[in-house]
Copies of this chain bind each other. A is one copy, B any other.
Amino acid sequence: MEVVTRKGRTLCFGRPAHILHWGSVGGKKEGEGPLAAQFDLLFQENSLGAPTWEQSESDLQRHCLDLTLKKAGLSPSDLDLVLGGDLQNQCTATAYTMAKLEIPFSGLYGACSTMAQSLSLASCLVSTGCASRAVAMTSSHFCAAERQYRTPLVYGGKRAPTAQWTATAAGCCLVADQPGGPAVASVTFGQVMDFGVTDINNMGAAMAPAAAKTLLTHFQDTGTKPEDFDAIYTGDLGVVGSRLLAQLMEKEGFSMENHRDCGTLLYDVSKQRVHAGASGAGCSASVLCAHVLPQLQAGILNRILFLSTGALMSQTTFLQGQSIPSIAHLVELRASDGKPS
């Protein structure tokens, strides 16, 4: 069997990499949500004791990587490469995390799509022998993101009903060339889409077309349809973006009944005052690691698609009146004992 088979834009792995271990870390609001019991580690105080929110986010990542390595019984020097990034300008949350570790590092920027992106690249490298053990990792922090993208925290700006709440969370996957844990069967890298949405408080609308495009590409490349999967997880479209995705897919003849969105799973949208749901690179990362991977491991889920979606604007391009380009990367995951297609 070929190591990798290219079907259109989709890469199908002959000897898939496995997610051996994983970790999830969250903050206060994540600890009050419906997935709280599934997190590895929750902090009651979002500063984690650090002097700046930016450093707090680095600490989230450090804890997440530490506990993943601990589960695996490995030390940092056992890793060939870390692939990761975050939402801070110049991806500094990840850079300062990595500065404390002597591990080769490749920094990524995919906004909230970073978890699927890092997992895709890690799977390519591990499945083909470029790495034996790689880590895919990302995070976000409400306070660091809010003051960077929107308004100072003390300003107390009113939030629009379509706005999403940036998760204070991190997720980390140890991808290895040995059996055990869910397998990454295939990946589809997304393309940047821009449908002219300029409302920074409605990212779900900006990202839905990117999610639809990547899903349709994957279905076409592999001859599959939504019903072939136990679930299709997107993140983080939120309430508004999820509705739009269903409409876009229906137009193409696909029913998205098994669709679940990480942005609507992380919080109780009706009770936690998060409006349209969760967002942030740490949203789909932590929901994957706290909620999805354990179900694949336990055999509750057998075959799923995981798509992270990212909005690629900056505060500068927003103030310049530019529209919001977006992207979605896709990973097909199977339970360890899942039947090959």
* Chain A residues proximal to chain B, CB less than 8 Å: 2-4, 6, 9, 11, 52, 54, 80-81, 85, 87-92, 95-96, 98-99, 101-111, 117, 120-121, 124-125, 128-132, 148, 188-194, 312-317, 320, 322, 325, 327, 329
Q: Are A98 and B189 in contact (CB under 8 A)?
A: no
B128 touches A96 (CB 8 A): no
Known: A2-B129, A98-B325, A189-B81. A9 touches B92 (CB 8 A): no
Contact across chains for A11 and B92 when beta carbons are under 8 A apart: no
Question: B105 to A106, Cβ gap below 8 A?
Answer: no
Closest Cβ of chain B to A48, distance in Å, is 16
Q: Which residues of B contact A125 (CB under 8 A)?
A: 124
Q: Which chain B residue has the least Cβ–Cβ distance from A315?
A: B89
The interface centre, meaning the residue of A89, A96, A329 with most chain B CB atoms within 10 A of its CB, is A89
A296 CA to B104 CA, complexed, in Å: 28
Copy total for this chain: 2
A297 to B10, CA, bound (A): 33
Please determine whether A317 and B96 come into contact, CB atoms closer than 8 angstroms: yes
Partner of A90, one of B6, B92, B314: B314
Answer whether A124 and B130 are a contact pair too, CB < 8 Å, given A9-B80, A105-B189, A108-B106: yes
CB contact between A109 and one of B81, B108, B132, B325 (< 8 Å): that residue: B108
State which of B81, B95, B329 has its C-beta within 8 Å of the C-beta of A192.
B95
CB-CB under 8 A from A189, the residues of chain B are 81, 104-106
